Structure 1
Amino acid sequence: MATVAARARVSGQTVSRVVNGSPRVDPGTRERVERAMAELGYRPHRAARALRTGRSQTIGLVVTTLATVGNSRMLQATAEAAGERGYALTVITAGVTVADAFERLAEQEVDGAIVLNEASALVPAAQRPAGLRLVVVDALTDDGFRSVHSDHAGGAATATAHLLGLGHSAVHHLAGPADSFAAAERERGWRETLRAAGIRPPAVVRGDWSAESGYAAGTALGAASAVFCANDQMALGLLRALAESGRRVPEDVSVIGFDDVPDAANYRPPLTTIRQDFTALAQRAVEALVADIEGADAAPGPLVVPTALIERASAG
């Protein structure tokens, strides 16, 4: 650092501020320091910094599975968001309990952890090491840590209202697993919208997020004129089942999904869906955790990320 300071003709403190991303550096000075760092091949020493600051600049990610689209997209977005803030990411997946995952992260001396989706429901019952800062995604909690989630209920309400606005007298629901926060919130938004319109909600057909479960639901939903699916994968399976039974989409049945997976625009027909902003969701989770780690003030209550209706050809 002293060598960099000499090359850039600044103080060692100025180099330290640049290295640590402080805003208290003139842009021209910052550029000169960064150029000197590049010329000298200077890199901050993570272990030495951890000894000095008491922080490892590493956060953990706890997830039960990476097989689902939502979890894999959240992993990608969280890794990018953490990297933008100078934090490394370590991932603990299925095969251990949430309490075991917390212990392993504590052993690695992470500064905090983000818990994703299905694993979030297990957090309240899990003992966690003292001082481990947490942000949970897709859970509501008052247990002393922050929660972040998409507006699942609002998105479901938008999808249901859209189908009613197209003239359908009822909207059926292909729901996700009963123990899922996201599935429960989407079901709630669907129910409340129908009841507000004076319509008794039909019996729920439940899947497990997979296209196979959506296909299996085709028989139970054979008489529906409109179906709101709790995710795009199940909608894909339902589209196949409807096609095989001779029912046309959207002429005979309108279908709306949730997530807006990259392939949704190439379903047959292209799928109308509710878009989750996984990038914004990960950024809010990382921001909340880093604010806690670094002692910054944070807004109270859960952080809710808006969703949006993406209209395509599957609803009419």
Structure 2
Amino acid sequence: MADVAAAAGVSGQTVSRVVNESPRVDPATRAKVESAMKRLGYRPHRAARALRTGRTQTVGLVASTLATVGNSRMLQAVADAASARGYSLVVVTLGGADSDIQGAFVRLRDQGVDGAIVLNEATDLVRDASPPADIALVVVDSAADDRFGVVVTDHAGGARAATEHLLGLGHATVHHIAGPAGSFAAAERERGWREALAAAGAEASVPSRGDWSAASGYEAGLALSDDVTAVFVANDQMSLGVLRALADGGRPAPAVSVVGFDDVADAADYRPPLTTVRQDFDRLGERAIALLVARIEEGAAASAYEAIDAQLVIRASTATPQS
């Protein structure tokens, strides 16, 4: 570091600030230091930095499973955002003997993480637990809670837009195939669906419920009655199963209109291309990491909360009711 300081014509403290990404360095000076670092082949030593700062530049991610599309997309987004900020990532999944959220926190603490992000279904466990005081924590998809930071998709707003789209096409009402009980996202999407129907004076039927998988969507799709003309499905994977069930039953979409949620990479290639609500997974991951790093490095307020808009994407799976 002293060699870098001499080559750049700055103090050792300035080099330290650049290495630690402090905002207290003007751009021109930062560029000089980074140029000297590159020229001399200087790389910060992570273990030495941890001894000096008490931080390991490592964050954890806790998920109930990585088998769902949403969780795998969030893992990629969080990993990319963490890497961009110079942080490594440790992943813990819950299941079987590892279903205890407190045990997950213990394992992360043993690996020296500075903070952790908890995803989706696992957030239900966090709300009923005692988050560790010595690990900065951000939860993706939860109600506001002053014990940790929260980043959410506006699930209810996206569901309202989906339902209003179907009602605007002339459908008398919209059936719903919901996600699993206990899921914050599923509950919020159901809430948005109910609010849109209530505002339009339309009747809400008892929703079916799946487990996010295409197979559960297929089973729910087979059970749809003949008078159903429009369905809002809580995610795209279940929508895929619904589309197949409708086709098998002789009423392929858009004879029955179908809207999903997430806008997975393949949604535009479903048959027909799926109208859906887009979650911005990349932004969710970036904002979750940004909030976590702020809490680690700056002691940001525990009550921080941020909602990310969801966008309706209209494709060929929805149409006016057939006479």
Q: TM-score range, shorter-chain basis? A: over 0.9
SS at match of 1:50: helix
Which residue number in structure 1 is paired with residue 17 of structure 2?
Answer: 17
1:301 Cα deviation after fit: 5.2
Find the partner of 2:286 among 279, 283, 307: 283
Which residue number in structure 2 is paired with residue 242 of structure 1?
Answer: 246
Conserved 8 A contact 1:288-1:298: no
Deviations 1:17-62 (A, max 9, x none): 2212233334333223222212222111111111111111111101
Which residue number in structure 1 is paired with residue 108 of structure 2?
Answer: 105
Q: TM-score, normalised by structure 1?
A: 0.95
Which residue number in structure 2 is paired with residue 226 of structure 1?
Answer: 230
Pairs within 5 Å for 1:108-257: 108-142=111-145, 144-223=147-226, 224-250=228-254, 252-257=255-260
Let me know the Cα RMSD of the aligned residues.
1.6
Conserved 8 A contact 1:103-1:128: no
1:59 maps to a residue whose letter is V
Aligned residues: 315
Conserved 8 A contact 1:291-1:298: no
Pairs within 5 Å for 1:28-67: 28-67=28-67
Conserved 8 A contact 2:159-2:192: yes
C-alpha distance in 1 between matches for 2:71 and 2:314: 24
Deviations 1:206-228 (A, max 9, x none): 11100001111122214210000
2:250 maps to a residue whose letter is G
SS at match of 2:222: coil
Conserved 8 A contact 2:213-2:237: yes
Deviations 1:255-280 (A, max 9, x none): 00000000000000000000001111
C-alpha distance in 2 between matches for 1:142 and 1:258: 25
SS at match of 2:103: helix
Q: TM-score, normalised by structure 2?
A: 0.93
1:57 maps to a residue whose letter is Q
Q: Give the share of equivalent positions with the same residue, in percent.
A: 66
Which residue number in structure 1 is paired with residue 7 of structure 2?
Answer: 7
C-alpha distance in 1 between matches for 2:169 and 2:79: 40
